[in-house]
Chains A and B, each alone.
Chain A
Amino acid sequence: MLTLTNVTKVFKKNEKNFIAVEDLSFTINKGEIFGLIGTNGAGKTTTMRMIATTLKPTYGTINVCGYDSVKDDANVRKCIGVLYGGDTGLYDRLTARENIEYFGRLNGLNDDAINKQMDYLSNVFGLQDYLDRKCGGFSRGMKQKTSFARAIIHNPQVMLFDEPTSGLDILASEEVLNFIKQCKKMGKTILLSSHNMQEVEELCDRALIIDHGKTLCTGTLDQILKQTNSNSIKESFIKLIKKDY
């Protein structure tokens, strides 16, 4: 469903080359949650951006739902839903409904489909009372839930989540994690980038640990634990990163 083959991304800064991602390869199957784990600046966001077609790989190919990310970028974007990390971006002067609707329409949904998905997602994230309020006054948690709903309004086959529970309280995080599990049951292909190892252990089938753009380790969680002779993913991660440094 999502395949990266020998993907490398080189940025030019002041006439010097900076390799953000080097020879990265992995495949995520339908109904699988794949964790992308790394420190800040490891290359996770660049990888996400390449899959989302906002950046082009310098070398290698990315295939999403059978479409090439460079040649068929428009079709790739139609079958993915992206939730970017950091401060959740919403249009403050628009209501939650208008924010979600906007992305639904841009992803080709008609009124009926938007209304159906809006009902479903507002139930899942408890947004019913907030739908017609302007987002400028929302709490961080409510903004994150609205962003989540906006990212997947078009019911995409492939979902890219960058720190999806960042800034959420325990209850809101639990709602989001349950929703991601539900998406997996529905056969969605999910790439999850996270710093939260507990979250990775709870959700991911397989994972890849990346540092300085290079793959340090990949496989099922058990395989990673065995390879690093660790008891937890957090321990594996620290061992691999320290060794790398």
Chain B
Amino acid sequence: MKNTMFKQYSIVLKKELKDAFRDKKSIFATFILPLILFPIFFLIIGMSGNSITDKAINPKLTIIKGDVESSVSVDSQEYKYFEDNIFSLNDTIKISYVECDNFKDSMINGDIYLALIIDDNFLTEIVDETKSVNIQVIYDDRSTSGSTTASVIVDLLNMYGDKLLQDRVEQLDPNISMNPVVGNSMSLSQAYDDIKRYGTDSTLLHLIIPMLLTMLISIGGASIATDLVAGEKERNTFEPLLSTGASRFSILSAKYTVIIIFSFLSAIAEVVSIVLSMLLTKDVFTSSAFSSLYLPFSGVILVILNLLMLAALFSGLLLILTSTSNTLKEAQSKSTIVMFLPMIIAFATMYTDVADVSMWTMCLPIYNVVISIKLLLAGVMNYAYLWGALAINVVYAVLSVFITVKTFSKESLITK
């Protein structure tokens, strides 16, 4: 009996996988999209980041005299002062000076990123030890590179101010300390060699891996799930299938397995995608993102089991929804509602600190899987939490399977 059931299960599973892998739309949604999404995403982030950095170190600016309302461009003498004394403090910065009649229009048109407004008597006041020179840096508040460039220039101005002050103080008394208080921060493991802290130092990985893995494990099989029962009903293949020698349990188990397989493949595609992103976009990920990562075998297994239980929970939910739908459209609408749940929880827990986790919060579905992955990535192997999460996730998965089996045995499954 068991042998027959397993044989029927294998036949349905084989057919469903063959059918699913021939479905180009499902393959695209489940594998191709997660696979190409991140390299493209991080490539764009990297490119726009490079563009901002590039603009910040090669700023196009103008220097004007007077006040904001009645300003005129400075003559070459004042610009030369800036170039020789202030801009030269950082060799990497290459200033492009743009002369303009109306700096506001030039900024709105994107010809310049910022304007430096100086007093009429700038050159005399800057060398006067009794005076404080005010330089106003104006940037376009609609431009990302404007604010970045402004902060670079303000840093340079402050550096020059510090240098002037240092020179003046040294002239008064060379023994005066210029840095009476110095503050430096160091992490525990940087400060002490005997302390080992594991886990990735990449904040980006800390935030996105738990969120995306949880989301894709939960809903990665949604596209295929809607087709597995509601799709069969719509194509009128479901009733003939139920009338064959195969038991409903074999059919259900095979369909259930297909959803779990697709969820996992989708999640694996995402991990591969992130690795590809790291290889392709070194600007976004630091080279040390994985170097300090410590993944103990038992921890990895516990996290995988937690992911498996989450996949089982959502595969069951998706099967219930698709089984209670008569058309693909109806199943897709219902699945969309369920898809929001892991997305909201995964996003909401993006910034959760593993130090704030407690045992009762590890009972919350989805959340506990996000935290399990975060614990692993942070190198905080709290096995009580991981086992606790697994135990409760097994209960959720079993409940989901039980309700799915009940739903699948209902007559309303085939009567519209």
| Inter-subunit contact A93/B246 (CB<8 Å) | no
Q: Which of A77, A78, A84, A93 contacts B236 (CB 8 A)?
A: A84
Pairwise interchain contact A84-B239, C-beta atoms closer than 8 A:
yes
* Given A55-B415, A98-B18, A102-B11, residue A91 in contact with residue B243 (CB < 8 A): no
Quick check: is B411 within 8 A (CB to CB) of the other chain?
yes
Question: B366 in the interface, Cβ–Cβ < 8 Å?
Answer: no
Given known A-B contacts A82-B243, A89-B235, A102 and B15 have beta carbons under 8 A apart? yes
B276 within 8 A of A: no
Interface string of B227-246 (1 = CB under 8 A from A): 00000100111111111111
- B415 and A77: CB pair below 8 A? no
Q: Give which listed residue, B23, B236, B414, contacts A49 with CB less than 8 A.
A: B414
Whether A106 contacts B12 by the Cβ 8 Å rule is: yes
Q: Mark B60-97, 1 if CB is under 8 A from A, else 0.
A: 00000000000000000000000000000000000000
Would you call A89 and B246 a contact (CB within 8 A)? no
Please name all residues of chain A whose beta carbon is closer than 8 Å to the beta carbon of B236 when the two chains form the complex: 84, 86-89
Q: Is the CB of A80 within 8 A of B411?
A: no
Are the C-beta atoms of B245 and A74 separated by less than 8 Å?
yes
Number of B residues, CB within 8 Å of A: 26
Q: Do residues B240 and A94 form an inter-chain contact, with CB atoms below 8 A? A: no
A77 and B235 contacting across the interface, CB-CB below 8 Å? no
Cβ contacts under 8 Å, B242 to chain A: 52, 54
Q: B401 to chain A: closest CB distance in Å?
A: 21
Residue of A49, A90, A105 with most partner-chain B CB within 10 A: A105
Q: Which chain B positions have C-beta within 8 A of A3?
A: none
The answer to whether A11 touches B245 (Cβ under 8 A) is no
Question: How far is B239's CA from A54's CA once the two chains are assembled, in angstroms?
Answer: 8
B411–A56 contact, CB under 8 A?
Answer: yes
CB distance A93 to B19 under 8 Å?
yes
Q: Which residues of A contact B241 (CB under 8 A)?
A: 106
Which of B8, B23, B240 interacts with A93 by CB under 8 Å? B23
The residue in chain B whose Cβ has the minimal distance to the Cβ of A83 is B240
Return chain B residues, CB-CB under 8 Å to A53.
Answer: 243
Chain A hits for B12, CB < 8 A? 106
Does chain A have a CB within 8 A of B247?
yes
A232 vs chain B, min Cβ distance (A): 32
Select B240's contact among A84, A92, A105, beta carbons within 8 Å.
Answer: A84
| Chain A contacts for B243, CB-based, 8 A | 52-54, 77, 80, 82
Contacts of A87 in B (CB 8 A): 236
Query: Which of B235, B243, B247, B414 has its CB near the most chain A CB atoms (within 10 A)?
Result: B243
A151 interface residue per 8 A CB criterion: yes
Given contacts A93-B22, A106-B12, A107-B245, contact A55 B414 (CB under 8 A): yes
Which residues of B in the span 208-260 have a Cβ within 8 Å of any Cβ on A? 232, 235-247
**What distance in Å separates the Cβ of A99 from its nearest Cβ neighbour in chain B?**
9
At the interface, yes or no: A103 with Cβ under 8 Å from chain B? yes
A74 partner residues in chain B, CB cutoff 8 A: 245, 247
A90 to chain B, nearest CB (A): 7
Partner-A contacts on B (CB < 8 A): 4, 8, 11-12, 15, 18-19, 22-23, 232, 235-247, 411, 414-415
Interchain Cβ contacts under 8 Å between A and B, 30 examples? A11-B415, A54-B239, A54-B243, A54-B411, A54-B414, A55-B415, A74-B247, A77-B245, A78-B245, A80-B243, A82-B239, A83-B240, A84-B236, A86-B236, A87-B236, A88-B236, A89-B236, A90-B235, A91-B235, A93-B19, A98-B18, A103-B240, A106-B11, A106-B12, A106-B244, A106-B246, A107-B244, A108-B245, A147-B240, A151-B240
Going nearest first, the 3 A-B pairs with the smallest beta carbon separation are A89-B236, A89-B237, A106-B244
Beyond the given A54-B242, A106-B12, could you list 7 further A-B residue pairs with CB under 8 A, ordered by the A residue number?
Answer: A77-B245, A91-B19, A102-B11, A103-B244, A105-B11, A150-B240, A151-B240
